[in-house]
Amino acid sequence: MNQNKTVLILGANSDVAKQAIKQYIEKGFSVTAASRNTKSLDEFVQENNFGSKVKVLSFDSVDFDSHKKFYDKLPIKPHIVVYAAGFLVDNEKALNDFKGTQQMMLVNYIGAVSILNIIATDKNNKNLERIIGLSSLSGVRGRKSNFVYGSTKAAFTTYLAGLRQELASRNIKVNALVIGYIRTKINEGLELNESLIMEPDYVAKHIVNAGNSFTIVPNFKWKLIYLILKVLPEGLVAKLP
């Protein structure tokens, strides 16, 4: 059913993205995996014997001038696009060193808008069915422990919400995966509640099986946290860590 369909994963070197690659392959898709670190992706493809099912390309989310050329050179325009690129520094560092803040803005939001605008406005691509962006619970409400990072994810979620409306007339679905803690390299060294940590393959399953809902929150505990954060009075949000 999906044999002739292609998925483009941007930021494909993340732990979640690699699991998504595996699951898309299992469902019969071909995958174009794009990342700055093509060496790691090539090794991943070889280890899993994906062969021609996965094409590895170089993509830098913050090299905006290269985005149009990157897209134009794609041999097959994608049916599904997943923006999985992400960057995180802790809030204290972000407050005191703007380079970290800037990099989060560039990767998590500006780079996403740059490439997704190009993809979304290509009306010649009759293949496009869905765009999925990986966002975060950190972007639901501003909290003193992570508001700098959270602000980049909030902006990305808002962009995706508008993009969903923009593309509705072309019957192209847009999803925002609003994610909590994941056992990945981006979270290594952080003190996290073990009972709330999700595995990359579990999160990837929600990407690959995305439905019609705009907001997708994997795990019932995180769904509950998401709903509470949405309605919590500002005075109580201010008391959260």
Per-residue model confidence (pLDDT) at position 61:
96
Below-50 pLDDT ranges, the chain:
none
Question: What is the CATH number for 128?
Answer: 3.40.50.720
Greatest CA separation for the chain: 54
106 occurs within a structural domain: yes
Domain hosting 101: range is 6-237
Does 1 fall in a domain? no
The verdict on residue 70 lying in a domain is yes
pLDDT on residue 1: 61
Domain count for the chain: 1
Q: Look at residue 177 and tell me if it is in a domain.
A: yes
Give 37-90 pLDDT, tens digit per residue: 999 999 999 999 998 999 999 999 999 999 999 999 998 999 999 999 999 988
Compute the radius of gyration of the chain from its Cα atoms.
Answer: 17
